[in-house]
Amino acid sequence: MLAVCALLLSAKVLAWEGQVSVTTPNTQMLLHAWEGGDLRVAYYGTKGATLEELRNAGDELNASALPVFGTVDMVQLPALQVQHADGDLNLELRVKNYELRKDGNAALHVFTMEDRLQPVTVKVYYKAYSRVDILETWTEITNNEKKPILLKRYDSGHLVLRQGDVWLTHMHGDWAAEAEPVMEPVTAGLKTIRNTDGARNSHLDAPEVMLSLDGKPQEQTGRTIGAALCWSGNYELRVNTVMRREHHLYAGIDPQSSEYVLDPKQTFQTPHLALAFSTEGMGGVSRTFHRWARTEGMLHRGMKVGDMLLNSWEGLYFDIDEGRMKAMMDDIAKFGGELFVMDDGWFGDKYPRNNDTSSLGDWVVDKRKLPNGLKALTDAARERGIKFGIWIEPEAVNTRSELFERHPEWALQTKGRELRLGRGGTQLVLDMTNPKVQDFVFNLVDTLLTNYPDIAYIKWDANASIQNYGSLYLPKDRQNNLYVDYHLGLLNVLQRIRQKYPDVVIQDCASGGGRANYGLLPYFDEFWTSDNTDALQRVYIQWGTSLFFPANAMACHINHCPYWNTGGRVIPVKFRCDVAMSGRLGIELQPKDMTDEERQQCTRCFQDYKQLRPIVQTGDLYRLVSPYDRKGVASLMYVDEGRTQGTLFVYKIDNYYNQPLPRIRLAGLDPDATYTLTEKNVRVGQQPCSLSGKRFTGRFLMEVGIEVPLREEYASRVFELK
């Protein structure tokens, strides 16, 4: 038996037999296989276990790593099913060889398997990072048959866990109410989490889940697995518990309406499934994903921090003109901001974009609104010492547009069927499977950035689902491939853009948080967390979103009040600022409508945030008191890598007489270090609270905790720890 050590990296095919340990700094997956046998998984968890020990402990799981239809018994669900050219629906995969390669900061384990009867090759990949506890797994299916085969199901990965008091946490939501964590015990039978929007995949449910192995999910303790499917299209995540000793997690592209036709000599690569294991509860899994996103290229921004910006949408909606743009630039510059973003409404010639019923696709400046074009705006921004950004929605077209008049065939549709129209009663989705459409989308970005090299930021929106299933580009017998090829086309365009423009900041927006996923984030710097900017609801939305996504990816903007989306709710500007400060800070209102107090508070908030920003945006997140626990407050904090500095946020989210509020016990600090608390963004007209300037050991802060003064409704505090 050969135990392969991750240090023995080599590009050549290794002689192997038996056990393979896929290891990250603190975790390990144990696989075993013999040439001519099945690939099996025995363990996933803390590093250090051996097959022998697992066997001796009577705890070896010994399940197929990739259960395939035809070989698994009919109790287990298959992760892969292929229909061969001759109609045969079975696979019997046998391992032919094993390779261990170096891949950047990771070791890549590749198992090549072949069907015993038909010429289909399946490679199973495990990528183990050496600096962060993430494993990625995916497969590649190659058709060596003479005719096309059908991929009826093609999951990215499968995980098997010992049955127990296991809980599932998944995100559920809607437009303007994204990412509510739902926690439920895993019970007998099948639980499915799916998305079928076609174009966006994280409004209603999300392709990320956690599995807590030691009972009800806890923030700081308990063995916890996190799984994120790195894909922007439809997905299906399944947790299946059978009358045995196991829970099974399967994750992959949703096969419904996507039974993929694979041509001879073609290889299909499934999206990656990223897995994390932590003994530090949900918080540990979150920190692992955040670190992976920032340090391993899974978030284009990496360790960089995002600019403080003003976005024109909620302040002006479609009411764009040159004067208003310049006035907004003046305002954001006065606040100490760094970037102004002109949102929807700046384009259209024959059809001016005055509302959402027209013009998408006609990416020319509306000279009636901007007579001096974009150059006048980029110049104006430079003169004010700030950067300039612009909104586009590249994958969409309105039926009232010159583009649709020229190329009606570029919209997704089926010949003869009535078009189902989206936003504004006229919106359609472009056919990203068509290389001409891909070029059109690339050229839109390329032309903007070539003609206006001062554009520093693009907000890339996507406001429609695929409601018309059909492509006039794909052949009749390839219509099945639409949902998948749409996203492969989108990725192709994004790769081209990033090759030429690595430095432009691009926001991933989809009617708010409809596209927060690790399929797209390698090409984007951040995402618009939600179209709901009500600060109280944002406490919840940002909480759920932070389970998998880091703070420098989450755009969080101060809004105006009364706020229409939550029935005219009015929240003090201090609370609004403090909530937005816990992510990438921005502002989303008409500054000229602000009161003096609001202006002063925002200026103070921007000033203080500038100092706190590196820790908030790139530090380790510790969620302290959940808003979902109904304790009257929510609290979270960020700590730098050396545990010498931190930022603490506390929000009062409920208010009644004689209300008992919990002590805030901090986390992630050095117990022996001494920290001074300094209150930041102090409310205009008030003095810092009594805790400000006080010194405490990390041990005291973590074990005893502090009473944070929060008297009035919507009270909130931000502290710097040094």
Positions touching ligand DGJ (CB under 6 A) are 313, 343-344, 391, 461, 463, 509, 511-512, 528, 531
Give the nearer residue to ligand DGJ in terms of CB position, either 512 or 632.
Answer: 512
Give the nearer residue to ligand DGJ in terms of CB position, either 424 or 688.
Answer: 424
Measured CA to CA, the distance from residue 1 to residue 438 in angstroms comes to 50
Give the nearer residue to ligand DGJ in terms of CB position, either 123 or 515.
Answer: 515
**Share in percent of the chain as helix, strand, coil (round to 5):** 25, 35, 45
Q: How far is the CB of 509 from ligand DGJ (least distance, A)?
A: 5
Q: Is 385 helix (H, G, I), strand (E, B) or coil?
A: coil
Give the nearer residue to ligand DGJ in terms of CB position, either 23 or 511.
Answer: 511
Measured CA to CA, the distance from residue 470 to residue 43 in angstroms comes to 43
The DSSP code sequence of 626-688 is -GGG-SSEEEEEEE-TTSS-EEEEEEE----TT-----B---SS-TTSEEEEEEESPPTTSPP
Q: How far is the CB of 459 from ligand DGJ (least distance, A)?
A: 6
Q: How far is the CB of 451 from ligand DGJ (least distance, A)?
A: 22
Give the nearer residue to ligand DGJ in terms of CB position, either 81 or 463.
Answer: 463
Residue type, 455: I
Q: How far is the CB of 75 from ligand DGJ (least distance, A)?
A: 45
Asked if residue 558 lies in contact with residue 604, where contact means CB atoms within 8 angstroms, the answer is no
Which positions ≥6 away from 374 have C-beta within 8 Å? 365, 390, 448, 451, 452, 455
Measure Cα distances from 312 to 193, 329, 332, 508 in Å.
35, 10, 11, 17
Measured CA to CA, the distance from residue 638 to residue 618 in angstroms comes to 8
Give the nearer residue to ligand DGJ in terms of CB position, either 434 or 590.
Answer: 590
Asked if residue 263 lies in contact with residue 30, where contact means CB atoms within 8 angstroms, the answer is no
Q: How far is the CB of 317 from ligand DGJ (least distance, A)?
A: 8
Give the nearer residue to ligand DGJ in terms of CB position, either 284 or 586.
Answer: 586
Q: How far is the CB of 513 from ligand DGJ (least distance, A)?
A: 9
Give the nearer residue to ligand DGJ in terms of CB position, either 145 or 393.
Answer: 393
Give the nearer residue to ligand DGJ in terms of CB position, either 234 or 463.
Answer: 463
Give the nearer residue to ligand DGJ in terms of CB position, either 280 or 461.
Answer: 461
Measure Cα distances from 442 to 392, 509, 648 in Å.
12, 17, 42
Q: How far is the CB of 247 from ligand DGJ (least distance, A)?
A: 37
Q: How far is the CB of 326 from ligand DGJ (least distance, A)?
A: 20
Residue type, 699: R
Give the nearer residue to ligand DGJ in terms of CB position, either 512 or 698.
Answer: 512
If one counts every other C-beta atom within 10 angstroms of the C-beta of residue 36, the result is 9
Q: How far is the CB of 537 from ligand DGJ (least distance, A)?
A: 15
Asked if residue 310 lies in contact with residue 326, where contact means CB atoms within 8 angstroms, the answer is no
Asked if residue 364 lies in contact with residue 348, where contact means CB atoms within 8 angstroms, the answer is yes
Asked if residue 543 lies in contact with residue 510, where contact means CB atoms within 8 angstroms, the answer is no
Q: How far is the CB of 446 from ligand DGJ (least distance, A)?
A: 22
Which positions ≥6 away from 701 have C-beta within 8 Å? 665, 666, 669, 675, 721
Give the nearer residue to ligand DGJ in terms of CB position, either 174 or 383.
Answer: 174
Asked if residue 529 lies in contact with residue 546, where contact means CB atoms within 8 angstroms, the answer is no
* Nearest residue to ligand DGJ, by Cβ distance, number only: 344
Give the nearer residue to ligand DGJ in terms of CB position, either 137 or 511.
Answer: 511
Asked if residue 664 lies in contact with residue 682, where contact means CB atoms within 8 angstroms, the answer is no
Give the nearer residue to ligand DGJ in terms of CB position, either 125 or 346.
Answer: 346
Comparing C-alpha atoms, which of 479, 458, 399, 409 is closest to residue 437? 409
**Mutual orientation of helices 535-545 and 573-580 as an angle, nearest 10°?**
10
Measured CA to CA, the distance from residue 668 to residue 619 in angstroms comes to 11
Comparing C-alpha atoms, which of 306, 304, 294 is closest to residue 341? 306
Measured CA to CA, the distance from residue 41 to residue 32 in angstroms comes to 6
Q: How far is the CB of 149 from ligand DGJ (least distance, A)?
A: 40
DSSP E strand stretches across 437-479? 455-460
Q: How far is the CB of 314 from ligand DGJ (least distance, A)?
A: 8
Q: How far is the CB of 594 from ligand DGJ (least distance, A)?
A: 20
| Residue 96 C-beta-side C-alpha neighbours within 13 Å | 13
Q: How far is the CB of 605 from ligand DGJ (least distance, A)?
A: 21
